[in-house]
Chain A
């Protein structure tokens, strides 16, 4: 597609439930990133992929969070046993290579845990 697509755009879930957030990067982009933006804060790094492998997952807050990119294109961020503190906008970005950081962000998935 022309841009980075994230689905769903909004997700409301109950505390304790499992959620999956999907990211479709720009075709041909090898690097893919997940960030989380809480209210009043800047984006916070979670994980990035170079191809199929997670090159750096140091930003994942705990083991309830996991992300995959099995074919080097679409990525899914998975959150188990959601907590109210997980409520945020989850942003995905992609870039042709990992250099330069001028990557393209999607519009995000707004996750609300009630």
Chain B
């Protein structure tokens, strides 16, 4: 049973527009969430994280929003660039970021077209 769900396997966006990647979770004990980006033949790269005590965290073009009541988070990329084309994984932890066990979603493949 998937505790972290990314229901869109793929997303295509025009360069310069906003990309919105969504993630839902079922475990109410999750209190720390992360997004990783993965290019082909490389390992995932950490992008941005958010603690459950916040509802928004921003880092440059990347913003993560957390809606605890809906058990939903989203990653916004503005403006999208062709180099953002990759697979994006949502991940969650129930240890407040203090232990190693992360639960990942299946990923969403983002394609940003020039």
Contact = CB atoms under 8 A, between A and B. Distances in A.
Contact of B34 (A40, A91, A102): A102
A48 B4 CA distance: 20
A25 interface: no
Contact of B43 (A45, A58, A106): A106
A98 B96 CA distance: 11
- Report, as a range, how many residues of chain B touch the other chain: 20 to 34
Contacts of A105: 43-45
| Interface class of chain B by DSSP | loop
B76 interface: no
A43 B89 CA distance: 9
B97 A99 contact: yes
Contacts of A40: 106
A107 B4 contact: no
A103 interface: yes
Nearest to B107: A42
A31 interface: yes
Contact of B46 (A59, A102, A107, A108): A102
Interface of A: 4, 31, 33, 35, 40-45, 48, 55-56, 58-59, 91, 93, 98-108
17 contacts: A35-B104, A40-B106, A41-B106, A42-B89, A42-B106, A43-B89, A48-B99, A48-B101, A55-B99, A56-B99, A91-B43, A93-B43, A99-B97, A100-B49, A101-B102, A105-B44, A106-B43
